[in-house]
Amino acid sequence: MVHSKNQPTFFDLATKKDSVTRALRVAILVGIILNLINNPELFKLSFDGLNIYRVLLTFLVPFCVSLYSSILANQKKCPEN
């Protein structure tokens, strides 16, 4: 696909403030829920044996999915030349 000067690039769409903000909100909400499901020891506020990389990845995945979905939705809104 060739981009015209009027059509934003993938990076332009990925760095839009509203897309990043929405992705952060989704990541926080979904990440908390998934971490509580996958790490029941967090209910007891016990952090023994907790793998920090798994916890961070549980937040990163919903962030990436949400951001990618926003990019695709915004690409469809842009007229193609």
pLDDT in tens, 19-35: 999 999 999 999 999 99
pLDDT at position 2 over 70: no
Radius of gyration of the chain (CA): 17
Render pLDDT for 50-69 as a digit per residue (tens, 0 to 9): 888 999 999 999 999 999 99
Q: How confident is the model at residue 13 (pLDDT cuts 50, 70, 90)?
A: confident
Residue 53: CA count within 13 A, CB half-sphere? 0
**pLDDT score of 4:** 58
pTM attached to this predicted model: 0.79
**What is the per-residue pLDDT for 38?**
87
- Alpha-carbon torsion, ordered 11, 15, 21, 24, to 10 deg: 60
The single-letter DSSP state of residue 80 is P
Closest CA to 80 of 8, 14, 20: 8
Residue 75's pLDDT is what? 84
